[in-house]
Amino acid sequence: MNGLLSLALQGAGQSFWFPEQASTVAGRIDAVFYFILWVSIISFVGVVGVTLWFAWKYRARPGHSAVKTSSHDNTLEVTWTIIPTILVAGMFWVGFKGFLDLRNAPEGSYQVNVTAQKWSWEFQYPNGHLSPELHSWVGQPTRLLMTSTDVLHSLYIPSFRVKQDVVPGRYTSLWWEATKPGVYNLFCTEYCGDQHSAMITKCVVHESKEAFDAWMEKDADIIGNSPSLVAAGETLYNRKGCTQCHLTTAETLKGPGFLVLSKAWADGKALPLDGGGSVMPDENYVRESILVPGAKIRDGFKGVNMPAYQGRIKDDELGAISLYIQSLATDGN
Amino acid sequence: MATTQTAGVEVHRPGVTPSKDNYLNHSKGLMSWLFTLDHKRIGVMYTIAVLAAFTLGGFFALAVRTELAAPNTGDGAWQMLPSGAVYNQMFSLHGAIMVFLFIIPSIPAALGNFVLPIMLGVKDVAFPRLNLFSFHLWILGAAFFLLALATGGLDTGWTFYTPYSLEGHSTSAVIAATTGAFVLGFSSIFTGLNFIVTLHKMRPTGMTWFRMPLFLWGLYATAVIQVLATPVLGITLLLLIVERAFKIGIFDPSLGGDPVLFQHFFWFYSHPAVYIMVLPGMAIVSELIGTFSRKHIFGYRFIAMSSVAIAIFGFFVWGHHMFTSGQSALASTVFSGLTFSVAIPSAIKVFNWVTTMWKGDIHLKTPMVYALGFILLFMIGGVTGLFLGTLSTDIHLHDTYFIVAHFHYVMVGGTLWAFLGGLHYWWPKISGKMYSEKVGVTASLIALLGFNLTFFPQFMLGSQGMPRRYFDYLPEFQAYHVWSTIGAYVLLIGLVMVAYNLVMSMIKGKQAPDNPWGSNTLEWKCSSPPPHHNFEHQPTVGDPYDIEGYVYEPSIDGYVRPDEAAVETAGRS
């Protein structure tokens, strides 16, 4: 309840109407807002002020009566048609110019691909690295190429004054150039169901390209950042796209559930393969299935065509994933 | 014609017609109401029905506002509803019920039905049976909404955006609600059709188009939108049902459809529908301002033509709901430009209303307090629309609480205020009873305070970046939410007082005179309440705003016209 009376403004640079301006377009958009605001305030005070003044001055009271006046006046009508027309034409024009700035990303923008799904964001950088938070750096125009795997979402960063719906089945994009380092809220603003209000993440703006690269190097080192190899395996499972087709239960999504493999491994049982034969689950089978998925296809999964990870994953990462899958059967599942 | 018994002697009291036989007691029994062809009874039933819907929708609004009093986690956390899923159903039902069951039918179907034929000086609308059928369709549509409520799971918002509405949790609730909206659409189309034909074919001798009261101009423009736009909603909802039931790809990208296409279809109806909501409201205000200022309305033709202009322009602006949707930049630019065209006729109306008050004799009776409240709220709703029609600022404000505040100022501040103003204005005619002015004015002012307290903070909430339709929020937004929730309860107090005042008037209100406000439109020339056939004899048609001849008569607390009374008395003897 703090700040109830003071309407306390939190965060540096925040004003009565806006969060801080952290992009190159923010200042220009706010200027348009304040232009319309002042036109609005003057119109409102004028119209409502005159209305209340009339209601008082000409209030019904003993000895007072209405004075017959003309009931039409074309000069007045034309005047109060033309003045608002000029004002709104001006608003249209400045809004249009600002919109062009928002729509046209400059040449050489740094592109991040965005996948929205219920109820999380996934950001993929040019080197293939995935992160649940969006990172960029000051002074670098950054363009997002976005799509959704399920329903409509919308990516909104108030401090940058940018917003764009994310539509399944097509790409949409937006861009900005950050002007100051910081951590900014990133919201989903298109209603998407139960956890819509939890589909919030951060946009981290680093102060330089070097700082961004340093973050990237550290963040990409998943094993170094994890408390154990099993935990690293779980993070890799979540970040490398495995979740799209594999559950950690025995249920089949597109590919087989990992628990089936894990249990067979623990019990020392072979798994049947497509076209006859079987395979004994172990580290080598897991490694091969990730690097060259077509080598041994489990019975019933022919034609699924999992993408090969050869060259896209490191040796120690393969080991961590293998350990994680092995741990599923013993983790009380 | 007016007589009362005093000590066995018939005394003529001009201005009061205590008719023994009126539309309320003309026939008895529930069936005589449910299957009546009398436009007045149908209007009364619509009034009761839409107010019941308003109460239900209001209940959901309070649930939403109460939930949002504090974030769900952190210091002073507060969570009333069990989950986000329940919250989503609350705001979906609030929006759907308020839009489809209350706002759209409120003025045209409820007040319009009662007033339109009497204002024309005729017995009924052109097609009384179709009129009754419209009401029965409303009931059927409402039943589908109750079904959606009972089956649970309507969590799509009132907009039913695809593909969410195609894959949500409850097929039965989505289909029930869209079927309900589809049926209500037909109710709306039939009412509009009825009004158009009535106004074209049944205007009495002497009532040319430009001698028609402005309320009728507003209803006419509204009816045109209802007839032309509503079928598109019907088609859209039907396609949605077909896609959901039979998996035919229209809007669903996984079946090869286009989700943005749904938005085009939906707003092609739902933007003009905003003018179905607000044009009749403006039309009521046009009646109230002149009457209570004791002045002829200023700029009659401009007000009338601006209604038509708004109705036409309203068809070409739907894309302004979609600046961030992924539609092309060119389309957004064109829609932004067209959107501003609607601002002009709206501004013209406001300027004419204010000028009407100049040098008047302004009576701050309850309906006038609502009319002035309307101007205040509509000004805020109107100017905040400028921020949203402007492309670059809309990108920031779209789908935030700024939008929520804006459309509540237009739809509630506009429609509800005009509806309540009209209800209080025609209440003496509808019920035959006068209500307490003191309670009426106080209730209106409390509601005005509550409304502004609820919705003004939401502008800042939105421009600061709080998205709409959020079950939970970041702690920095809480201060505004607290004000908003307090305001909602103040508004509730005001509205309960309104209901109390009107109910009490029926129990112990004074007999209403024929013409309590001194208006010259024809509905004030019959008794209060009107007889079954509205008029004992055809009233004479003149300038509807020629009100200077009326004189206040304290003994009846109403207005009489000495010149007319003299003519009548002469005719009688």
Lowest mean pLDDT among A205-214, A219-228, B213-222, B324-333: A219-228
Per the DSSP assignment, residues forming a β-bridge with A154 are A165
How far apart CA A22 and CA A207 sit, in angstroms, is 12
Are the beta carbons of A91 and B389 closer than 8 angstroms? yes
Of the residues A59, A87, A91, the best mutation for testing chain B's interface (the one with the most B CB atoms within 10 Å of its CB) is A91
**What confidence score (pLDDT) does residue A35 get?**
96
What does each C-alpha distance from B462 to A34, A118, B74, B121, B473 come to in angstroms?
A: 15, 23, 22, 48, 12
**Amino acid symbol at B431:** S
Contact state of B361 with A60 under an 8 Å Cβ cutoff: yes
Alpha carbon B465 to its chain's center: 30
Tell me what percent of the residues of chain A surpass a pLDDT of 90. 71
Across A199-209, average pLDDT = 95
- For residue A8, list chain B residues with Cβ-Cβ distance below 8 A: 479
Domain, as residue range, for B473: 37-572
Output the domain CATH number for residue B309: 1.20.210.10
Whole-number average pLDDT of chain B: 91
pLDDT given for residue A221 in this prediction: 85
Interchain proximity B364–A59, CB inside 8 Å: yes
Is the pLDDT assigned to residue B41 strictly greater than 70? yes
Question: For A96, which residue in chain B has the nearest alpha carbon?
Answer: B391
Which residues of B fall within a CB distance of 8 Å from A6?
A: 479
* Two tokens, residue A119: 């109820």
Q: Please give the structure tokens belonging to residue B157.
A: 């918002």
Query: What is the CB-side half-sphere exposure of residue B408 using CA atoms within 13 A?
Result: 22
How many Å lie between the alpha carbon of A42 and the closest alpha carbon of chain B? 10
- pLDDT (0 to 100) of residue A309: 83
Mean pLDDT for the stretch of residues A208-217: 95
Please tell me if residue A84 touches chain B, with a CB cutoff of 8 Å.
yes
Q: If we measure between CA atoms, which residue out of A239, A293, A245, A299 comes closest to residue A272?
A: A299
Tally of CB atoms within 10 A around B258: 18
Measured in angstroms, the CA of A66 and the nearest CA of chain B are apart by 4
Task: Note the pLDDT of residue B562.
Answer: 82
d(CA B411, CA B381): 9
* Alpha carbon distance B156, B96 (integer Å): 10
Q: Give residue B15's identity as a one-letter amino acid code.
A: G
Q: Mutate which of B86, B210, B302, B386 to test chain A, going by most A C-beta atoms within 10 A?
A: B386
What DSSP state is assigned to residue B154? Answer: -
Burial class (CB in 10 A: 0-12, 13-18, 19+), B571: exposed
pLDDT of B396 > 60? The answer is yes
Smallest Cβ distance to B400: which of A1, A100, A189?
A189
CB contact under 8 A, A185 and B465: yes
Q: Is residue B374 part of a domain?
A: yes
| Model confidence pLDDT, tens digit, residues B444-494 | 999 999 999 999 999 999 999 999 999 999 999 999 999 999 999 999 999
pLDDT band at A220 (very low <50, low <70, confident <90, very high): confident
Percentages (nearest 5) of helix, strand, coil residues in chain B: 70, 5, 30
What length is written for chain A?
A: 333
Among A6, A37, A66, select the one facing B359 at the smallest CB separation. Answer: A66
What is the pLDDT averaged over residues A233-249?
86
Cβ–Cβ gap B260/A167 under 8 Å: yes
Please tell me if residue A19 touches chain B, with a CB cutoff of 8 Å.
yes
Which residue of chain A comes nearest to B299, CA vs CA? A72
Q: Distance between CA B24 and CA A299 in Å, rounded? A: 78
Residue B24 lies in a domain: no
With a cut of 60, say whether residue B136 has pLDDT above it: yes
Chain A residues within 8 A of B302 when measuring between CB atoms: 72, 77
Taking only the tens place, the pLDDT of each residue in B544-557 is 999 988 999 898 89
Q: Is B206 on the interface with A (CB under 8 A)?
A: no
Residue A10 has pLDDT above 60, yes or no: no
CB-based contact B262:B157 (threshold 8 Å): no
For B305-320, the three-class secondary structure string (H helix, E strand, C coil) is: HHHHHHHHHHHHCHHH
CATH superfamily of A110-220: Cupredoxins -  blue copper proteins (2.60.40.420)
For A120, the 3-state DSSP assignment is strand
B329-357 and A26-57 helices cross at what angle (nearest 10)? 20
pLDDT value of position B508: 92
B294 contacts on A by Cβ (under 8 Å): 60, 65-66
pLDDT at B182 over 70: yes
Contact of B327 with chain A, judged by CB distance below 8 Å, is answered with no
Residues 203-242 on A with a CB inside 8 Å of B are none
Are A167 and B380 an interchain contact pair (Cβ–Cβ within 8 Å)?
A: no
Chain A residues whose CB is inside 8 A of the B545 CB are 71
Interchain pair B548, A150: CB under 8 A:
no
A22-37 burial: b if 16+ Cβ within 10 Å, else e: bbbbbebbbebbebbb
**Residue A51 in contact with residue B401, Cβ under 8 Å?**
no
Is position B436 within any domain?
A: yes
- CB B569, CB B26: distance < 8 Å: no
Chosen for mutation from A23, A81, A163, A195 (greatest number of chain B CBs closer than 10 Å) is A163
The stretch A63-67 carries a mean pLDDT of 91
- Tell me the pLDDT band of B3, cut-offs 50, 70 and 90: very low
Q: Supply A303's token pair.
A: 């034609």
Give the total residue count for chain B: 573
Q: For A163, which residue in chain B has the nearest alpha carbon?
A: B395
Task: Classify domain A222-330 at the CATH class level.
Answer: mainly alpha
Q: Is residue B263 predicted with pLDDT exceeding 60?
A: yes
Contacts of B396 in chain A (CB under 8 A): 29, 33, 158, 161-163
Is A66 close to B548, i.e. CB distance below 8 A? yes
Please tell me the predicted confidence (pLDDT) of residue B469.
95
Whole-angstrom Cα distance, residue A21 to residue A7? 20
For B112-134, write each residue's pLDDT tens digit.
999 999 999 999 999 999 999 99
CB distance B160 to B266 below 8 Å: yes
Can you list the positions of beta strands (E) in A151-256? 153-157, 162-166, 172-177, 182-188, 201-206
B566 pLDDT band, cuts 50/70/90, is: low
**Which tens digit of pLDDT belongs to each residue from B494-533?**
999 999 999 999 999 999 999 999 999 999 999 989 999 9
Which of residues B237 and B336 earns the better pLDDT score?
A: B336
| pLDDT of res. A3 | 39
Residues of chain A with Cβ-Cβ distance to B75 below 8 Å are 2
**A163 — contact with chain B (CB < 8 Å)?**
yes
CB–CB of B324 and A11 under 8 A? Answer: no
CA nearest to B260 within chain A:
A167
pLDDT tens track for B428-446: 999 999 999 999 999 999 9
pLDDT at B10 over 70: no
Residue B14: inside a domain = no
Residue among B164, B355, B479 whose CB faces A192 most closely: B164
Looking at the predicted structure, is the pLDDT value of residue B157 above 80?
yes
With beta carbons less than 8 A apart as the criterion, state whether B138 and B105 touch.
Answer: yes
Of B84, B357, B392, nearest to A194 by CB-CB distance is: B84
Tell me the C-alpha distance between A138 and B481, whole Å: 33
pLDDT of residue B168: 61
The reply to whether B350 touches chain A by the CB within 8 Å rule is yes
DSSP A262-298: HHHHHHT--EEBTTS-EE--SHHHHHHHHH-TTSSPB
Per-residue b or e along A209-243, where b marks 16 or more CB atoms closer than 10 Å to that residue's CB: eebbeeebeeebebbeebeebbbbbbbbbebbbbe
Cβ count near B255 (within 10 Å): 14
- Does the structure show a pLDDT above 80 at A214? yes
User: Predicted confidence band at B13 (pLDDT cuts at 50, 70, 90)?
Assistant: low
Residues 451-470 of B with CB under 8 A from A: 460, 463-465, 467-470
Domain count, chain B: 1
In this structure, of B14-23, B30-39, B183-192, B448-457, the range with the lowest mean pLDDT score is B14-23
Determine whether the interchain pair B469/A99 forms a contact, defined as Cβ–Cβ distance below 8 Å.
no
Contact criterion met (CB < 8 Å) for B84 and A36: no
How large a percentage of chain B has pLDDT more than 70? 95
Decide if A186 touches B, using CB distance below 8 A.
no
In a 3-state reduction of DSSP, which class is residue B375?
helix
Does A324 lie at the interface with B, CB-CB under 8 angstroms? no
Q: Is B351 on the interface with A (CB under 8 A)?
A: yes
Min distance A184 CA to chain B CA atoms (Å): 11
Q: Which of B22, B250, B221 is nearest to B107 (CA)?
A: B221
CB contact B364 to A (< 8 Å): yes
Task: Give the residue carrying structure tokens 């039931």.
Answer: B245
Helix residue ranges per DSSP H, B322-415:
329-357, 366-389, 391-397, 401-410
Q: What is the band of B237 on the pLDDT scale with cuts at 50, 70, 90?
A: confident
Contact yes or no for B355/B299 (Cβ under 8 A): yes
* Chain B contact for A269 (CB, 8 A cutoff): no
| Weakest mean pLDDT among A46-55, A111-120, B70-79 | B70-79
Q: Among B35-49, B51-65, B154-168, B519-533, which stretch is predicted with the lowest mean pLDDT?
A: B154-168
Instruction: Give dist(CA B84, CA B88) in Å, integer.
Output: 6
